[in-house]
Structure 1
Protein backbone atom coordinates (compact mmCIF):
# COMPACT_ATOMS: atom_id res chain seq x y z
CA UNK A 1 0.00 0.00 0.00
CA UNK A 2 1.42 3.44 -0.89
CA UNK A 3 2.65 5.28 2.17
CA UNK A 4 0.71 8.43 1.25
CA UNK A 5 -2.59 6.54 1.05
CA UNK A 6 -1.87 4.83 4.37
CA UNK A 7 -1.33 8.26 5.95
CA UNK A 8 -4.46 9.75 4.37
CA UNK A 9 -6.70 6.93 5.56
CA UNK A 10 -5.23 6.55 9.04
CA UNK A 11 -5.18 10.31 9.63
CA UNK A 12 -8.85 10.41 8.65
CA UNK A 13 -9.54 7.50 11.02
CA UNK A 14 -7.78 9.40 13.82
CA UNK A 15 -10.08 12.37 13.27
CA UNK A 16 -13.13 10.11 13.25
CA UNK A 17 -12.06 8.50 16.53
CA UNK A 18 -11.45 11.88 18.14
CA UNK A 19 -14.83 13.25 17.07
CA UNK A 20 -17.10 10.20 17.24
CA UNK A 21 -15.32 7.71 19.48
CA UNK A 22 -14.71 4.04 18.79
CA UNK A 23 -18.35 3.35 17.96
CA UNK A 24 -18.17 5.91 15.18
CA UNK A 25 -15.14 4.30 13.55
CA UNK A 26 -16.38 2.61 10.40
CA UNK A 27 -14.88 2.13 6.99
CA UNK A 28 -17.59 4.34 5.53
CA UNK A 29 -16.92 7.13 8.05
CA UNK A 30 -13.21 7.07 7.22
CA UNK A 31 -13.94 7.22 3.48
CA UNK A 32 -16.20 10.22 4.02
CA UNK A 33 -13.70 12.01 6.25
CA UNK A 34 -10.87 11.38 3.78
CA UNK A 35 -13.00 12.52 0.84
CA UNK A 36 -12.46 9.23 -0.97
CA UNK A 37 -14.90 6.92 -2.77
CA UNK A 38 -16.86 4.54 -0.56
CA UNK A 39 -15.06 1.22 -0.31
CA UNK A 40 -11.55 2.69 -0.38
CA UNK A 41 -10.80 2.07 3.30
CA UNK A 42 -12.16 -1.47 3.24
CA UNK A 43 -9.98 -2.21 0.21
CA UNK A 44 -6.89 -1.41 2.25
CA UNK A 45 -8.06 -2.62 5.66
CA UNK A 46 -10.42 -5.55 5.27
CA UNK A 47 -11.53 -5.71 8.89
CA UNK A 48 -12.18 -3.20 11.64
CA UNK A 49 -9.38 -4.79 13.67
CA UNK A 50 -6.96 -4.20 10.79
CA UNK A 51 -8.08 -0.58 10.61
CA UNK A 52 -7.55 -0.07 14.36
CA UNK A 53 -4.10 -1.66 14.20
CA UNK A 54 -3.19 0.62 11.29
CA UNK A 55 -4.33 3.65 13.29
CA UNK A 56 -2.12 2.59 16.19
CA UNK A 57 0.88 2.20 13.89
CA UNK A 58 0.24 5.68 12.53
CA UNK A 59 -0.10 7.14 16.03
CA UNK A 60 3.16 5.48 17.06
CA UNK A 61 4.95 6.86 13.99
CA UNK A 62 3.71 10.41 14.61
CA UNK A 63 4.55 10.28 18.32
CA UNK A 64 8.00 8.91 17.53
CA UNK A 65 8.59 11.78 15.09
CA UNK A 66 7.73 14.29 17.82
CA UNK A 67 10.08 12.59 20.31
CA UNK A 68 12.89 12.31 17.76
CA UNK A 69 12.61 16.00 16.89
CA UNK A 70 12.90 16.91 20.58
CA UNK A 71 16.14 14.89 20.96
CA UNK A 72 15.39 14.11 24.58
CA UNK A 73 18.06 12.30 26.64
CA UNK A 74 17.80 8.54 26.32
CA UNK A 75 17.35 8.66 22.55
CA UNK A 76 20.10 7.29 20.35
CA UNK A 77 22.44 10.14 19.45
CA UNK A 78 20.89 12.53 22.00
CA UNK A 79 22.90 14.09 24.83
CA UNK A 80 23.06 12.34 28.19
CA UNK A 81 20.94 13.81 30.97
CA UNK A 82 22.71 15.55 33.85
CA UNK A 83 20.88 16.94 36.85
CA UNK A 84 21.77 20.49 35.79
CA UNK A 85 19.83 19.82 32.58
CA UNK A 86 16.58 18.79 34.27
CA UNK A 87 14.76 22.07 33.74
CA UNK A 88 15.64 22.14 30.05
CA UNK A 89 14.63 18.51 29.59
CA UNK A 90 11.37 19.16 31.45
CA UNK A 91 10.68 22.09 29.13
CA UNK A 92 11.23 19.83 26.12
CA UNK A 93 8.82 17.21 27.43
CA UNK A 94 6.33 19.95 28.35
CA UNK A 95 6.43 21.26 24.79
CA UNK A 96 5.57 17.81 23.45
CA UNK A 97 2.70 17.36 25.93
CA UNK A 98 1.38 20.83 25.11
CA UNK A 99 1.38 19.89 21.42
CA UNK A 100 -0.47 16.66 22.20
CA UNK A 101 -3.07 18.71 24.08
CA UNK A 102 -3.49 21.36 21.38
CA UNK A 103 -2.55 20.99 17.71
CA UNK A 104 -2.28 17.18 18.04
CA UNK A 105 -5.27 16.85 20.37
CA UNK A 106 -7.12 14.51 17.99
CA UNK A 107 -4.19 12.13 18.04
CA UNK A 108 -4.25 11.94 21.82
CA UNK A 109 -7.99 11.35 21.96
CA UNK A 110 -7.69 8.64 19.30
CA UNK A 111 -4.89 7.00 21.29
CA UNK A 112 -7.08 6.84 24.38
CA UNK A 113 -9.91 5.33 22.36
CA UNK A 114 -7.61 2.60 21.01
CA UNK A 115 -6.20 1.82 24.43
CA UNK A 116 -9.69 1.45 25.90
CA UNK A 117 -10.71 -0.78 23.02
CA UNK A 118 -7.75 -3.05 23.72
CA UNK A 119 -8.86 -3.56 27.32
CA UNK A 120 -12.10 -5.13 26.07
CA UNK A 121 -10.62 -7.12 23.19
CA UNK A 122 -7.61 -9.27 24.12
CA UNK A 123 -6.78 -9.84 20.47
CA UNK A 124 -5.87 -6.16 20.23
CA UNK A 125 -3.53 -6.18 23.22
CA UNK A 126 -0.50 -6.34 20.94
CA UNK A 127 -1.16 -2.75 19.89
CA UNK A 128 -0.20 -1.58 23.38
CA UNK A 129 3.45 -2.38 22.74
CA UNK A 130 3.81 0.87 20.76
CA UNK A 131 4.28 2.74 24.05
CA UNK A 132 7.38 0.74 25.00
CA UNK A 133 9.77 3.17 23.29
CA UNK A 134 9.02 5.98 25.74
CA UNK A 135 9.61 3.61 28.67
CA UNK A 136 12.98 2.50 27.29
CA UNK A 137 13.95 6.14 26.84
CA UNK A 138 12.85 7.05 30.36
CA UNK A 139 14.76 4.14 31.92
CA UNK A 140 17.92 5.10 30.04
CA UNK A 141 17.58 8.74 31.04
CA UNK A 142 17.17 7.97 34.74
CA UNK A 143 19.96 5.39 34.71
CA UNK A 144 22.31 8.09 33.41
CA UNK A 145 21.76 10.20 36.53
CA UNK A 146 22.16 7.29 38.93
CA UNK A 147 18.52 6.67 39.82
CA UNK A 148 17.84 3.70 42.06
CA UNK A 149 16.16 0.90 40.10
CA UNK A 150 16.05 2.94 36.85
CA UNK A 151 13.88 0.40 35.03
CA UNK A 152 11.13 0.60 37.61
CA UNK A 153 11.58 4.35 38.08
CA UNK A 154 11.44 4.89 34.31
CA UNK A 155 8.15 3.04 34.04
CA UNK A 156 6.72 5.03 36.94
CA UNK A 157 7.86 8.30 35.39
CA UNK A 158 6.12 7.51 32.10
CA UNK A 159 2.95 6.54 33.96
CA UNK A 160 2.96 9.84 35.86
CA UNK A 161 3.54 11.90 32.72
CA UNK A 162 0.76 9.97 30.95
CA UNK A 163 -1.50 10.75 33.89
CA UNK A 164 -0.60 14.43 33.67
CA UNK A 165 -1.52 14.45 29.99
CA UNK A 166 -4.83 12.70 30.63
CA UNK A 167 -5.70 15.05 33.51
CA UNK A 168 -5.10 18.12 31.37
CA UNK A 169 -6.98 16.76 28.38
CA UNK A 170 -9.91 14.86 29.90
CA UNK A 171 -9.77 15.16 33.68
CA UNK A 172 -10.25 17.90 36.25
CA UNK A 173 -7.11 19.64 35.07
CA UNK A 174 -8.87 20.53 31.83
CA UNK A 175 -10.82 23.24 33.64
CA UNK A 176 -8.20 24.41 36.16
CA UNK A 177 -4.92 24.44 34.22
CA UNK A 178 -3.79 27.13 31.74
CA UNK A 179 -5.22 26.70 28.23
CA UNK A 180 -3.34 24.24 25.99
CA UNK A 181 -1.18 25.81 23.33
CA UNK A 182 -0.07 28.70 25.52
CA UNK A 183 3.22 29.68 27.10
CA UNK A 184 1.52 29.54 30.50
CA UNK A 185 0.54 25.91 29.96
CA UNK A 186 4.04 24.93 28.87
CA UNK A 187 5.54 26.71 31.89
CA UNK A 188 3.14 25.00 34.28
CA UNK A 189 3.84 21.60 32.73
CA UNK A 190 7.57 22.24 32.95
CA UNK A 191 7.35 22.77 36.71
CA UNK A 192 5.36 19.55 37.17
CA UNK A 193 7.65 17.45 34.97
CA UNK A 194 10.85 18.83 36.51
CA UNK A 195 9.49 17.88 39.93
CA UNK A 196 8.81 14.35 38.69
CA UNK A 197 12.24 14.01 37.08
CA UNK A 198 14.03 15.05 40.26
CA UNK A 199 11.87 12.83 42.41
CA UNK A 200 12.46 9.73 40.31
CA UNK A 201 16.16 10.54 39.96
CA UNK A 202 16.39 10.67 43.73
CA UNK A 203 17.10 14.38 44.04
CA UNK A 204 14.59 16.81 45.52
CA UNK A 205 14.41 20.46 44.44
CA UNK A 206 15.53 21.45 47.95
CA UNK A 207 18.63 19.26 47.72
CA UNK A 208 19.50 20.69 44.31
CA UNK A 209 19.31 24.30 45.45
CA UNK A 210 21.27 23.58 48.63
CA UNK A 211 24.08 22.05 46.60
CA UNK A 212 23.60 18.55 48.06
Structure 2
Protein backbone atom coordinates (compact mmCIF):
# COMPACT_ATOMS: atom_id res chain seq x y z
CA UNK A 1 0.00 0.00 0.00
CA UNK A 2 1.33 3.40 -0.87
CA UNK A 3 2.20 5.36 2.24
CA UNK A 4 0.46 8.49 0.96
CA UNK A 5 -2.79 6.63 0.29
CA UNK A 6 -2.63 5.04 3.76
CA UNK A 7 -2.25 8.52 5.28
CA UNK A 8 -5.06 10.02 3.17
CA UNK A 9 -7.53 7.28 4.06
CA UNK A 10 -6.67 7.00 7.73
CA UNK A 11 -6.61 10.78 8.22
CA UNK A 12 -10.06 10.92 6.64
CA UNK A 13 -11.21 8.14 8.95
CA UNK A 14 -9.91 10.07 11.96
CA UNK A 15 -11.96 13.08 10.86
CA UNK A 16 -15.06 10.92 10.43
CA UNK A 17 -14.58 9.38 13.87
CA UNK A 18 -14.19 12.73 15.58
CA UNK A 19 -17.23 14.22 13.86
CA UNK A 20 -19.66 11.29 13.79
CA UNK A 21 -18.43 8.83 16.42
CA UNK A 22 -17.63 5.15 16.04
CA UNK A 23 -21.02 4.29 14.51
CA UNK A 24 -20.41 6.81 11.77
CA UNK A 25 -17.15 5.19 10.72
CA UNK A 26 -17.95 3.38 7.48
CA UNK A 27 -15.98 2.72 4.31
CA UNK A 28 -18.42 4.88 2.40
CA UNK A 29 -18.04 7.78 4.86
CA UNK A 30 -14.25 7.63 4.59
CA UNK A 31 -14.44 7.60 0.78
CA UNK A 32 -16.60 10.72 0.90
CA UNK A 33 -14.37 12.56 3.39
CA UNK A 34 -11.24 11.69 1.41
CA UNK A 35 -13.00 12.69 -1.83
CA UNK A 36 -12.10 9.38 -3.44
CA UNK A 37 -14.11 7.00 -5.57
CA UNK A 38 -16.68 4.84 -3.81
CA UNK A 39 -15.05 1.55 -2.86
CA UNK A 40 -11.52 2.92 -2.45
CA UNK A 41 -11.41 2.46 1.32
CA UNK A 42 -12.79 -1.07 1.18
CA UNK A 43 -10.17 -1.95 -1.44
CA UNK A 44 -7.42 -1.09 1.05
CA UNK A 45 -9.16 -2.18 4.26
CA UNK A 46 -11.49 -5.09 3.58
CA UNK A 47 -13.23 -5.09 6.96
CA UNK A 48 -14.27 -2.47 9.48
CA UNK A 49 -11.89 -4.02 11.99
CA UNK A 50 -9.02 -3.62 9.51
CA UNK A 51 -10.01 0.02 9.06
CA UNK A 52 -10.04 0.66 12.81
CA UNK A 53 -6.66 -1.06 13.19
CA UNK A 54 -5.25 1.15 10.44
CA UNK A 55 -6.61 4.24 12.18
CA UNK A 56 -4.87 3.20 15.41
CA UNK A 57 -1.58 2.68 13.58
CA UNK A 58 -1.90 6.15 12.08
CA UNK A 59 -2.72 7.67 15.48
CA UNK A 60 0.37 6.03 16.96
CA UNK A 61 2.51 7.32 14.09
CA UNK A 62 1.29 10.89 14.55
CA UNK A 63 1.66 10.72 18.33
CA UNK A 64 5.28 9.58 18.00
CA UNK A 65 5.97 12.51 15.68
CA UNK A 66 4.58 14.92 18.29
CA UNK A 67 6.72 13.43 21.04
CA UNK A 68 9.82 13.67 18.88
CA UNK A 69 9.00 17.31 18.09
CA UNK A 70 9.03 18.06 21.81
CA UNK A 71 12.10 15.87 22.38
CA UNK A 72 10.27 13.33 24.50
CA UNK A 73 10.92 9.56 24.14
CA UNK A 74 8.65 8.08 21.49
CA UNK A 75 9.83 4.46 21.39
CA UNK A 76 10.20 1.66 23.90
CA UNK A 77 13.82 1.36 24.93
CA UNK A 78 14.65 5.02 24.37
CA UNK A 79 16.72 6.68 27.10
CA UNK A 80 14.58 7.72 30.06
CA UNK A 81 13.78 11.39 30.61
CA UNK A 82 15.91 12.87 33.40
CA UNK A 83 13.58 13.97 36.18
CA UNK A 84 16.23 16.21 37.71
CA UNK A 85 14.21 19.26 36.65
CA UNK A 86 10.50 18.41 37.09
CA UNK A 87 9.49 21.82 35.79
CA UNK A 88 11.27 21.30 32.47
CA UNK A 89 9.86 17.78 32.09
CA UNK A 90 6.37 19.05 32.90
CA UNK A 91 6.71 21.82 30.32
CA UNK A 92 7.60 19.28 27.63
CA UNK A 93 4.66 17.05 28.50
CA UNK A 94 2.35 20.09 28.69
CA UNK A 95 3.39 21.15 25.18
CA UNK A 96 2.31 17.76 23.82
CA UNK A 97 -0.96 17.77 25.76
CA UNK A 98 -1.79 21.28 24.59
CA UNK A 99 -1.14 20.30 20.97
CA UNK A 100 -3.44 17.30 21.38
CA UNK A 101 -6.13 19.63 22.73
CA UNK A 102 -5.77 22.27 20.00
CA UNK A 103 -4.32 21.44 16.60
CA UNK A 104 -4.61 17.72 17.35
CA UNK A 105 -8.05 17.80 19.00
CA UNK A 106 -9.67 15.75 16.23
CA UNK A 107 -7.02 13.08 16.63
CA UNK A 108 -7.44 13.04 20.42
CA UNK A 109 -11.20 12.51 20.10
CA UNK A 110 -10.58 9.64 17.67
CA UNK A 111 -8.02 8.08 20.01
CA UNK A 112 -10.42 7.99 22.95
CA UNK A 113 -13.16 6.55 20.74
CA UNK A 114 -10.82 3.76 19.62
CA UNK A 115 -9.87 3.01 23.22
CA UNK A 116 -13.54 2.72 24.14
CA UNK A 117 -14.16 0.46 21.13
CA UNK A 118 -11.51 -1.92 22.47
CA UNK A 119 -13.62 -2.54 25.59
CA UNK A 120 -16.23 -4.16 23.33
CA UNK A 121 -13.77 -5.83 20.96
CA UNK A 122 -10.89 -7.36 22.94
CA UNK A 123 -9.07 -8.35 19.75
CA UNK A 124 -8.28 -4.66 19.22
CA UNK A 125 -6.46 -4.31 22.52
CA UNK A 126 -3.14 -5.55 21.20
CA UNK A 127 -2.86 -2.92 18.52
CA UNK A 128 -4.22 -0.25 20.88
CA UNK A 129 -1.44 -1.05 23.34
CA UNK A 130 0.84 1.56 21.79
CA UNK A 131 0.17 3.60 24.96
CA UNK A 132 2.35 1.08 26.77
CA UNK A 133 5.37 3.00 25.46
CA UNK A 134 4.38 5.95 27.64
CA UNK A 135 4.08 3.69 30.68
CA UNK A 136 7.50 2.17 30.02
CA UNK A 137 9.03 5.63 29.77
CA UNK A 138 7.27 6.84 32.91
CA UNK A 139 8.48 3.73 34.74
CA UNK A 140 12.07 4.33 33.64
CA UNK A 141 11.88 8.02 34.57
CA UNK A 142 10.55 7.32 38.05
CA UNK A 143 13.00 4.47 38.59
CA UNK A 144 15.89 6.84 37.81
CA UNK A 145 14.46 9.21 40.42
CA UNK A 146 14.57 6.46 43.05
CA UNK A 147 10.84 5.84 43.31
CA UNK A 148 9.83 2.54 44.90
CA UNK A 149 7.79 0.23 42.69
CA UNK A 150 8.33 2.45 39.63
CA UNK A 151 6.27 0.17 37.36
CA UNK A 152 3.15 0.74 39.43
CA UNK A 153 3.93 4.42 39.90
CA UNK A 154 4.59 4.87 36.18
CA UNK A 155 1.26 3.30 35.30
CA UNK A 156 -0.52 5.53 37.81
CA UNK A 157 1.26 8.64 36.53
CA UNK A 158 0.24 7.98 32.93
CA UNK A 159 -3.33 7.30 34.04
CA UNK A 160 -3.41 10.65 35.84
CA UNK A 161 -2.04 12.50 32.81
CA UNK A 162 -4.53 10.72 30.54
CA UNK A 163 -7.27 11.78 32.94
CA UNK A 164 -6.08 15.38 32.76
CA UNK A 165 -6.17 15.21 28.98
CA UNK A 166 -9.67 13.71 28.93
CA UNK A 167 -10.95 16.24 31.46
CA UNK A 168 -9.71 19.12 29.33
CA UNK A 169 -11.12 17.54 26.20
CA UNK A 170 -14.61 16.63 27.36
CA UNK A 171 -15.04 17.24 31.08
CA UNK A 172 -15.56 20.14 33.43
CA UNK A 173 -11.97 21.26 32.92
CA UNK A 174 -12.73 22.13 29.30
CA UNK A 175 -15.07 24.89 30.54
CA UNK A 176 -12.80 26.44 33.17
CA UNK A 177 -9.27 25.95 31.79
CA UNK A 178 -7.47 28.44 29.52
CA UNK A 179 -8.13 28.17 25.80
CA UNK A 180 -6.03 25.35 24.27
CA UNK A 181 -3.29 26.49 21.96
CA UNK A 182 -2.30 29.43 24.14
CA UNK A 183 0.63 30.09 26.45
CA UNK A 184 -1.82 30.22 29.35
CA UNK A 185 -3.03 26.71 28.52
CA UNK A 186 0.50 25.33 28.34
CA UNK A 187 1.42 27.00 31.63
CA UNK A 188 -1.71 25.65 33.33
CA UNK A 189 -1.08 22.12 32.06
CA UNK A 190 2.59 22.34 33.09
CA UNK A 191 1.54 23.31 36.60
CA UNK A 192 -0.76 20.30 36.84
CA UNK A 193 1.82 17.87 35.44
CA UNK A 194 4.62 19.22 37.65
CA UNK A 195 2.37 18.79 40.68
CA UNK A 196 1.86 15.16 39.70
CA UNK A 197 5.57 14.55 39.13
CA UNK A 198 6.55 16.06 42.46
CA UNK A 199 3.81 14.14 44.27
CA UNK A 200 4.88 10.81 42.80
CA UNK A 201 8.55 11.37 43.59
CA UNK A 202 7.88 12.75 47.07
CA UNK A 203 5.64 9.89 48.19
CA UNK A 204 7.51 7.05 46.49
CA UNK A 205 11.21 7.84 46.86
CA UNK A 206 13.45 5.38 48.62
TM-score (norm. length: structure 1): 0.91
Gaps of 5+ in 2: none
Q: Secondary structure at the match of 1:179?
A: coil
CA distance in 1, matches of 2:83, 2:51: 42
Kindly report which structure 2 residues correspond to 1:1-212, keeping only aligned pairs within 5 A, or say none.
Answer: 1-72=1-72, 80-83=81-84, 85-202=85-202
CA distance in 1, matches of 2:178, 2:147: 31
CA distance in 2, matches of 1:74, 1:125: 20
**Aligned pairs, how many?**
203
CA distance in 1, matches of 2:5, 2:68: 24
CA distance in 2, matches of 1:64, 1:136: 14
Gaps of 5+ in 1: 205-212
Offset from partner CA, 1:95-115 (integer Å, 9 cap, x none): 000000000001000011111
Contact 2:80–2:140 at 8 Å: present in 1 too? no
Contact 1:74–1:140 at 8 Å: present in 2 too? no
CA distance in 1, matches of 2:140, 2:74: 5
Contact 1:71–1:78 at 8 Å: present in 2 too? no
CA distance in 2, matches of 1:56, 1:111: 7
**Is the alpha carbon distance of 1:74 and 1:81 closer, same or farther for their aligned partners in structure 2, counting shifts above 3 Å?**
farther
Contact 2:73–2:80 at 8 Å: present in 1 too? yes
Residue in structure 2 matched with residue 207 of structure 1 by the alignment: none
Root-mean-square deviation (CA), in Å? 1.7
**Is the alpha carbon distance of 1:94 and 1:41 closer, same or farther for their aligned partners in structure 2, counting shifts above 3 Å?**
same
Indicate the larger mover: 161-170 or 66-75: 66-75
TM-score (norm. length: structure 2): 0.93
**Is the alpha carbon distance of 1:77 and 1:113 closer, same or farther for their aligned partners in structure 2, counting shifts above 3 Å?**
closer
**Is the alpha carbon distance of 1:73 and 1:146 closer, same or farther for their aligned partners in structure 2, counting shifts above 3 Å?**
farther
Offset from partner CA, 1:165-212 (integer Å, 9 cap, x none): 0000001101011111111110000000001011112269xxxxxxxx
Offset from partner CA, 1:1-46 (integer Å, 9 cap, x none): 0111101100000000000000110001101111111100000000
Residue in structure 2 matched with residue 208 of structure 1 by the alignment: none
Q: Secondary structure at the match of 2:103?
A: coil
Contact 1:86–1:198 at 8 Å: present in 2 too? yes
Contact 2:67–2:73 at 8 Å: present in 1 too? no
